[in-house]
Amino acid sequence: MEQVFTISVIISTYNRPDALTAVVEACFRQDDASYEIIIADDGSTHNTLACVQALRARSPVPLRHVWQEDLGFRLARVRNLGIQDARGDYLIFLDGDCVPQPDFVSQHRKLAQHGHMVSGSRILLSEQLTARVLAGQVDVNRLTLADKLRLRAGGHLNKILQLLARWPDVGRARRQFSWRRIKGCNLAMWRADLDRINGFDESFRGWGYEDSDIVLRLFNAGVMRKDGAFATEVLHLWHPESQRDQASSNRELVVRRIADKTIRAAQGLQA
């Protein structure tokens, strides 16, 4: 039986309105319409604002926009702004360059279970295929089997089986913390659990490991992680590698929190 609860999809973005448009338009084509969209904007310029206004005008579901000043990479903080604006019981975090499949929301709804969170999966697109998607030449959610096989053979998709099969909710829960397969571009969790751990930790600076940190702190609070592979895949549009100057120090902070079993964010939803 389908679970009845409200869902908020929080899409983080920064100065990439073409990719954001592709992602949100794919959200509009979901087979589950009982959700809302919150665009969490980490300081984009007016081009993104105009994009959001155009999307809102044709959105079949509630769509809102939260924005913060551009003071560098502050993904944790803008996600917290999205959480504060959200009205859902269950929150799905999606990056603004990750195109969801038509059953993305409904698959997350099927996997939602109290006492658990879900780390979803992604399929990487090549630079060439990404350019064609953003130019409107390819709709990645209307590919035939032959299209998928041809793109995989040409190296334009890094995997294909996850596009061809769906696994039931069996054997997905992990009973201990693992770094493997944590993808901040596709995470889902209960709002009540986020409140309990004080949301994302805004003390993380620069790229990296704020997603591992929140998964760890949820685990320390007794929330187990489910693997969303073969159910929740998103199609990750190509982009250049982000600067990772502070990635090692961010990882060291997570390692310390494994040892001291930290639960609440030092700087999060509540001061």
Averaged pLDDT of the chain: 94
Strand-pairing partners, residue 7, are 35, 90
- Report the sign of the C-alpha dihedral through residues 213, 215, 217, 219, in that order: negative
pLDDT given for residue 112 in this prediction: 97
Coil, helix or strand for 62? Answer: coil
Range of the domain at 165: 7-204+225-242
Instruction: Measure the CA–CA gap between 134 and 238, rounded to whole angstroms.
Output: 11
Q: Examine residue 2 and state whether it is found in any structural domain, yes or no.
A: no
Local confidence band at 221 (pLDDT 50, 70, 90 cut-offs):
very high
Per DSSP, the three-state class of 225 is strand
Find the helix or strand (DSSP H, E) in which 20 lies. helix 17-28
How much is the average pLDDT of 130-145?
96
Q: Does some domain include residue 104? A: yes
Residue 205 confidence (pLDDT): 77
pLDDT score at 244: 58
What confidence score (pLDDT) does residue 94 get?
Answer: 98
Domain count, the chain: 1
Residue of 165, 149, 153 lying closest to 230 (CA atoms): 165
- 194 in any annotated domain: yes
Spatial distance between the Cα atoms of 93 and 119, rounded to a whole number of angstroms = 10
256 assigned to some structural domain: no
Provide the pLDDT for residue 14.
96
Indicate the pTM of the whole model.
0.95
Residue 210 falls within a domain, yes or no? Answer: no
Residue 1 clears pLDDT 60, i.e. is over it: no
Rounded Cα distance between 145 and 217, Å, is 40
- The answer to whether residue 130 sits within a structural domain is yes
Quote the CA–CA distance of 95 and 226 in Å, as a whole number: 19
Q: Sheet of 234-236: strands edge to edge?
A: 98-100, 234-236, 122-124
Residue 112 lies in a domain: yes
Q: What is the CATH number of the domain that holds 70?
A: 3.90.550.10
Cα four-point dihedral sign 23, 29, 31, 32: positive
Where residue 181 falls among pLDDT bands split at 50, 70, 90? Answer: confident
Mean pLDDT of 4-27: 96
Domain assignment present for residue 253? The answer is: no
For residue range 102-127, what is the model confidence (pLDDT) as tens digits?
Answer: 999 999 999 999 999 999 999 999 99
- pLDDT band at residue 148, thresholds of 50, 70 and 90? very high
Hey, which bits of the chain come out as E strands? 7-13, 35-41, 63-67, 90-95, 98-100, 116-119, 122-124, 173-174, 186-190, 224-227, 234-236
- Supply 127's token pair: 């630079």
Structural contact between residues 126 and 153, judged by C-beta atoms closer than 8 angstroms = no
Give how far the C-alpha of residue 16 lies from the chain's centroid of Cα atoms, to the nearest Å: 16
Distance in angstroms (rounded) separating the CA atoms of residues 80 and 75: 9
pLDDT for the residue numbered 246? 63
For residues 215 and 176, is the Cβ–Cβ distance under 8 A? no
